[in-house]
Amino acid sequence: MKKQIISTELAPKAIGPYSQGIKIGNMVYTSGQLPIDAATGIMETEIGKATAKCIENVKAILEEAGSSLDSVIKTLVFLENMDDFAAMNEVYGKYFNENPPARSCVQVAKLPKGAVVEIEVIALCD
């Protein structure tokens, strides 16, 4: 099985030597997405808006790969501050309200570019 590099202008460009996503077989793996607007380069810093932007960036990568948020089976959420958990969870739940995927959520010491949240996913291809 050959891996396919997934890249879209609708999500921020990688800030290091990695791909936005990888598709192999019927699986898609996204890199962690920061709350950066791909068009403007502006990063959201309010946790609710930042969570939505991360998920919208993930969604763009999944759609480029022929998948969707409905096909996500696992998410990993990195928070700069676990005190933001409830606010993040409220927005996250709007995107994954029915049949939500498995999820891990961890607090980290620091995220790239000073982000307040980063989200990555594993999804099936539709």
Confidence (pLDDT) at 15 = 86
Domain ranges of the chain: 4-124
Q: Over the chain, what is the mean pLDDT?
A: 96
Model pLDDT, residue 1: 83
Q: Please give the pLDDT value at position 77.
A: 98
Contacts 24+ apart (CB under 8 A), 90-99: 90/48, 91/47, 91/48, 91/51, 91/52, 91/55, 92/51, 92/55, 95/52, 95/55, 95/69, 96/69, 96/72, 99/70
Superfamily of domain 4-124: RutC-like (3.30.1330.40)
From the list 22, 43, 105, 111, the catalytic residue is 105
Query: Does residue 105 carry a catalytic annotation?
Result: yes
pTM of the model: 0.96
